[in-house]
């Protein structure tokens, strides 16, 4: 019989005997019915609290999960995490952002050369608080091993990371592959998976809930728009690389209330300028960080080209150049996807959101967003990191 059953039997005994018209004696003290009732209420309250605490402990919602825990990762590998991770290596910028958003920055010991958000990651890498493990496409196994990591988080969509998973297994280093983030749901799955592994389930659930709520707010705001703005997302201009329907970027366009002009294609196709003209995009976004040109020069070159200038986007000054973090929120399938949705919705429908977005958007993109939620998340995590170190 469990604790609740034992307490239940005791209460039944006290109830039956309280019906007899004589005082009840407990440990040498004579109790009247009112005092006895108070004792019963206290016992019931303690039983309820104890039972709830026990169930919460068993489920891992307080005090974290019981280790070891077994999970299935994005490569369908069964991975046993023996203890709560204390030294984590991130092999992708999107993973680093996720870790810091879950207040796990103080556990991160290695990141790639391209991890630059939150901004403090760059400073921590430069001062040696965090070590570099090489590039995103080619992380260095030797550098990872030297960090004595007890958890390495990989991107299942990168061939080099798939190979690295097997190599780390052979060295008895725990490695978990996260989903590539091809959909918003995969991003949510990654947040929950890392939260489970790191003993931060509640934080992970809250982060997903907040992200979902913000995206729902955008969709509610644009749901009555009859003429949806058509969007060309250009990852490069010569030739033009864009996103097909089954991509993370296309999903952002949809969630922001837009229509991908190349939704009939899949993957990351190269398209001709003539085909772009026939699709008549209302808005054009260009990721330009790696182009090496001034954003104003890019816009002017489109205006001076007869074909480009025949599109509604160029004619109506609806070409937006994305740089730095303003670009990264669209390209990294991680927690800041919600900011990409919010920003794009304001670009597409400035009248609905009462916001005018400039044609060049960089690290100051947050100036045009309605909330500082994710900024607060990263700030809290950074403070914890510095306090820890």
pLDDT of the chain along its 389 residues, tens only?
Answer: 444 343 344 334 333 333 334 344 444 455 566 666 677 776 766 665 655 555 544 545 455 678 999 999 999 999 999 999 999 999 999 999 999 999 999 999 999 999 999 999 999 999 999 999 999 999 999 999 999 999 999 999 999 999 999 999 999 999 999 999 999 999 999 999 999 999 999 999 999 999 999 999 999 999 999 999 999 999 999 999 999 998 999 999 999 999 999 999 999 999 999 999 999 999 999 999 999 999 999 999 999 999 999 999 999 999 999 999 999 999 999 999 999 999 999 999 999 999 999 999 999 999 999 865 455 455 444 444 444 34
DSSP strand pairing (69-72 vs 230-234): unpaired
Say if residue 104 is in the same domain as residue 47. Answer: no
Query: Closest Cα partner for 231 from 262, 255, 277?
Result: 262
Q: Domain total for the chain?
A: 3
Q: What is the pLDDT of residue 65?
A: 78
Residue 326 lies in a domain: yes
Say if residue 48 is in the same domain as residue 167. Answer: no
Residue 214 lies in a domain: no
CATH of the domain at 188: 3.40.50.1980
Say if residue 134 is in the same domain as residue 255. Answer: no
Q: What is the pLDDT of residue 17?
A: 39
Residue 47 lies in a domain: yes
Domain closes at, from 163, 183, 199: 199
Query: Closest Cα partner for 114 from 98, 84, 136?
Result: 136
What is the rounded radius of gyration, in angstroms, for the C-alpha atoms of the chain? 28
Give the domain range for residue 27: 3-59
Residue 236 lies in a domain: yes
CA 37 to chain centre: 51
Residue 97 parent element (H or E): helix 93-101
Residue 285 lies in a domain: yes
Residue 218 lies in a domain: no
The most distant pair of C-alpha atoms in the chain lies apart, rounded to whole Å, by: 103
Q: 83 in the Ramachandran plot: left (φ > 0), alpha (ψ -120 to 50) or beta?
A: beta
Say if residue 262 is in the same domain as residue 369. Answer: yes
Q: Quote the CA–CA distance of 327 and 127 in Å, as a whole number.
A: 26
Say if residue 55 is in the same domain as residue 79. Answer: no
Asked whether the beta carbons of 289 and 324 are under 8 A apart, the reply is: yes
Q: Count the neighbouring beta carbons within 10 Å of the beta carbon of residue 218.
A: 23
CB under 8 Å to 80, separation ≥6 — which residues?
Answer: 68, 69, 70, 174
């Amino acid at each position: 019989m469990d604790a609740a059953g034992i307490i239940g039997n005791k209460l039944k005994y006290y109830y039956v005997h309280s019906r007899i018209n004589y005082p009840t004696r407990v440990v040498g003290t004579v109790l009247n019915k009112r005092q006895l009732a108070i004792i019963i209420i206290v016992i019931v309250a303690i039983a309820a609290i104890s039972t709830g605490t026990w169930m919460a402990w068993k489920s891992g919602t307080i005090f974290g999960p019981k280790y070891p825990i077994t999970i299935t990762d994005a490569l369908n590998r069964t991975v046993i995490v023996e203890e709560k991770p204390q030294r984590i290596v991130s092999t992708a910028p999107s993973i680093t952002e996720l870790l810091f958003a879950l207040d796990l920055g103080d556990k991160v010991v290695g990141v790639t050369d391209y991890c630059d958000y939150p901004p403090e990651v760059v400073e921590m890498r430069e001062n040696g608080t965090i070590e570099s493990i090489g590039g995103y496409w080619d992380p260095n196994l030797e550098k990872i091993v030297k960090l004595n990591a007890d958890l390495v988080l990989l991107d299942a969509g990168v061939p080099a990371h798939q190979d690295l998973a097997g190599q780390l297994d052979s060295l008895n280093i725990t490695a978990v592959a996260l989903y590539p983030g091809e959909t918003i749901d995969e991003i949510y799955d990654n947040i929950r998976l890392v939260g489970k592994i790191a003993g931060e389930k509640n934080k992970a659930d809250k982060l997903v809930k907040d992200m979902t709520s913000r995206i729902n707010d955008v969709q509610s705001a644009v749901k009555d728009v009859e003429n949806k703005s058509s969007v060309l997302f250009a990852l490069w201009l010569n030739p033009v690389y864009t996103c097909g329907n089954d991509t993370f970027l296309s999903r952002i366009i949809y969630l922001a209330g837009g229509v991908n002009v190349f939704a009939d294609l899949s993957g990351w196709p190269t398209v001709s300028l003539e085909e772009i003209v026939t699709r008549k995009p209302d808005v054009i976004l260009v990721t330009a960080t790696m182009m090496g040109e001034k954003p104003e020069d890019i816009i002017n070159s489109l205006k001076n080209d007869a074909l480009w200038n025949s599109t509604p986007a160029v004619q109506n000054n609806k070409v937006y150049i994305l740089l730095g973090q303003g670009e990264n929120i669209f390209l990294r399938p991680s927690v800041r996807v919600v900011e990409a949705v919010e920003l794009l919705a304001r670009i597409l429908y400035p009248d609905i959101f009462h916001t005018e977005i400039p044609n060049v958007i960089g690290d100051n993109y947050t100036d045009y967003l309605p909330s500082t939620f994710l900024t607060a998340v990263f700030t809290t995590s950074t403070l914890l990191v510095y306090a820890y170190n």
